[in-house]
Amino acid sequence: MYNFQLSEERHQFQEMARKFAEKEIKPLNDKFEDDWETHRYMTQVLKKAAELGFMGLTIDPKYGGIGSDGMTTMAVLEELAAVNGGVATVIGDTWFAQTPIIIAANEEQRERFLRPLASREEVNLGCICMTEPDSGSDIEDERMRFRTVKTILKEDGEHYILNGLKAWPSNAGIASHYIVVATTDPKMEEKGSGILVVEKDRPGLSFGKIERKMGMAEDQNREVVFENVRVPKSNLLGKIGDGLRILQTTVAYNRLGAGMISVGMARGAFEYALQYCKNRVVGGKVLVKHSLISAMFADMATKIDAARLLVYRASWALKRKDPNRARYSNMAKVFATNMAMEVTSNCVQVMGSYGYSKEYPVEKYMRDAKIVQIYLGPNEMVQQLIGENL
Ligand SMILES: Cc1cc2nc3c(=O)[nH]c(=O)nc-3n(C[C@H](O)[C@H](O)[C@H](O)COP(=O)(O)OP(=O)(O)OC[C@H]3O[C@@H](n4cnc5c(N)ncnc54)[C@H](O)[C@@H]3O)c2cc1C
């Protein structure tokens, strides 16, 4: 039995997210693109988001957060992404980075790491460092069991010395906490796997150039370099050997986030295109009166709803530790991200050249939708995981 009804509290957060997105994000939507290097407008948005408590949405009130459940978090993510998928990705990625701490940290570590990450006074973002230049999908692929991880942890008394290079992580350079996927030796596979928290000010931590991308200019992606970074052993989550399990649980929760960002973006594009087509006259009648166009909108609305329901089902299953929860999460990710690519592209199509124009918001949704089919596990890899699970 499923129950996807939002509680009164969930409705409040959803409403708060909707108003925040309309008031603080939407007016800046045409500014983010040229701000990809300086990140001034995002700094402004994130400050407001922190003040409202969004950074600590998933963190227990014991550590200064709000402690919302997965379905509330998904409802918030949809509202943010309906206005801007890049901003939703930045905030979603700080939650992504918090997940390993929430699921695997001891009490002392929770107090030390989660409290600053939930702060309303200052913006403290998390950055999850998985991808490496020679290995992206494989690091997230549970079947590879950390064999391709080249970021190395070496014991040195009460410390680990960390060496390696991470590519592409969101919030790189601006985050305060780096959650690093590493190994003592890739040949040890799962037994050598570890997840380490590295604070930004540790000597030996530096950043490469900011990546310029097709979309999602709001998200700052750059290489993260670890050169003999000394990190206390007390920053390791769990123990050596737990890394694979922690990463896989983290990924299961966050693939849903990718799914819901896609639902939000598809809805944002859909709502705009529908309104446009109610007014645009072609062949003597408004576009929505053409049966082909009307059928396209019917199909889009159905698929957006179907994707949202898959995300909620997976969120429900995760909360209840359903044995199929990882598969449900993977299914939601693949379906929702493919749906968003199709829907946003169709929204451009029905608006003609105006859909393709930067004067209108729909083309950005389409560009942003593309990467969500790739990040958090490219769909081809995730589809194989679903197939093998079946
Ligand atoms: C905006 C953005 C945000 C990101 N955020 C983060 C982040 O926060 N943290 C982080 O660590 N990384 C992040 N990444 C990196 C991203 O997760 C990786 O790029 C992604 O996992 C794919 O890795 P890759 O680019 O190395 O592609 P590869 O692994 O080289 O894969 C290339 C292609 O091969 C295909 N493929 C892959 N695996 C299989 C398979 N098993 N079977 C069949 N086909 C397959 C897919 O089509 C895939 O797209 C981000 C990237 C972007 C652009």
Instruction: Please check whether residues 66 and 109 belong to one and the same domain.
Output: yes
Neighbours of 8 (CB within 10 A): 6
| Residues 234 and 371 reside in one and the same domain | no
CB < 8 Å & 24+ apart, contacts of 358-362: 360/272, 360/276, 361/29, 361/268, 361/269, 361/272, 362/269, 362/272, 362/273
Euclidean distance between CA atoms 188 and 191, whole angstroms: 5
The last residue of a domain, from among 84, 117, 150 = 117
Torsion sign, CA atoms 256, 101, 246, 196: positive
Ligand 1 centroid to residue 132 C-alpha, Å:
10
What's residue 1's pLDDT? 67
Q: Which among 202, 246, 190, 193 is positioned nearest to 226, based on CA atoms?
A: 202
The residues lining ligand 1, judged by C-beta closer than 6 Å to any ligand atom, are 93, 128-131, 136-137, 140-141, 168-170, 213, 216, 219, 221, 371, 374-375, 378, 380-381, 384
Report how far ligand 1's centroid is from the alpha carbon of 142 (Å): 14
The residue length of the chain stands at: 390
Question: Looking at the structure, do residues 294 and 273 belong to the same domain, yes or no?
Answer: yes
**Do 269 and 364 have their domain in common?**
yes
3, part of any domain: no
Q: Phi-psi bin for 226: left (phi > 0), alpha (psi -120 to 50), beta?
A: beta
- For 198, the enclosing helix (H) or strand (E) is strand 193-199
- With beta carbons less than 8 A apart as the criterion, state whether 304 and 266 touch: yes
8 Å CB contact between 66 and 248: no
Calculate the CA dihedral of residues 42, 365, 11, 19 and round it to 10 degrees. Answer: 50
Q: How many CB atoms lie under 10 A from the CB of residue 361?
A: 19
In a domain, 346, yes or no: yes
Candidate of 42, 95, 137 to mutate for ligand 1, largest count of ligand atoms within 8 Å of Cβ: 137
2 assigned to some structural domain: no
Q: Please list, in sequence order, all residues whose beta carbon lies within 8 angstroms of the beta carbon of residue 45, skipping any fewer than 6 positions away.
A: 24, 25, 28, 87, 218
Best mutation site among 168, 219, 364 for ligand 1 pocket (most ligand atoms within 8 Å of CB): 168
- For the CA of 127, the closest atom of ligand 1 is 8
What CATH code is carried by the domain that includes residue 78? 1.10.540.10
The CATH number of residue 348's host domain is 1.20.140.10
Tell whether 188 and 287 lie within a shared domain. no
261 in any annotated domain: yes
| Smallest CA separation from ligand 1 atom 13, residue | 169
Inter-CA distances, 179 with 44, 93, 233, 273, Å: 24, 11, 14, 39
Shared-domain flag, residues 269 and 331? yes
- Classified as helix, coil or strand, 298 is helix
Per-position pLDDT tens, the chain of length 390: 677 777 888 889 999 999 999 999 999 999 999 999 999 999 999 999 999 999 999 999 999 999 999 999 999 999 999 999 999 999 999 999 999 999 999 999 999 999 999 999 999 999 999 999 999 999 999 999 999 999 999 999 999 999 999 999 999 999 999 999 999 999 999 999 999 999 999 999 999 999 999 999 999 999 999 999 999 999 999 999 999 999 999 999 899 999 999 999 999 999 999 999 999 999 999 999 999 999 999 999 999 999 999 999 999 999 999 999 999 999 999 999 999 999 999 999 999 999 999 999 999 999 999 999 999 999 999 999 999 999
Residue 273 lies in a domain: yes
Nearest CA to ligand 1 atom 30: 136
Number of folded domains in the chain? 3
Dist. CA 365–CA 13, nearest whole Å: 24
Residue 377 CA to ligand 1 center (angstroms) comes to: 6
Mutate which of 178, 223, 372, 374 for ligand 1? The one with the most ligand atoms within 8 Å of its CB, which is 374
Contact 177, 96 (CB under 8 A): no
**At 101, is the secondary structure helix, strand, or coil?**
helix
Exposure string over 162-173, b if 16+ CB within 10 A, otherwise e: bbbbbbbbbbbb
Are 378 and 254 within one domain?
A: yes
Instruction: Among 90, 117, 144, identify where a domain stops.
Output: 117
Whether residue 249 sits in one domain with residue 181: no
Residue 314's domain comprises 244-389
Same domain, 210 and 76: no
Cα–Cα distances in Å, from 182 out to 54, 116, 234, 267? 29, 23, 15, 37
Ligand 1 atom with the smallest distance to the CA of 170 is 8
What pLDDT does residue 355 have?
98
pTM of the prediction? Answer: 0.97
Helices assigned H by DSSP within the chain: 8-20, 40-51, 70-83, 85-104, 107-109, 115-117, 137-140, 243-279, 291-319, 325-350, 353-356, 362-372, 379-389
Let me know whether 174 and 236 are in one domain. Answer: yes
Q: Is residue 311 part of a domain?
A: yes
In a domain, 1, yes or no: no
> Same structural domain for residues 331 and 267?
yes
Task: Supply 34's token pair.
Answer: 């040229």
Whether residues 248 and 312 share a domain: the answer is yes
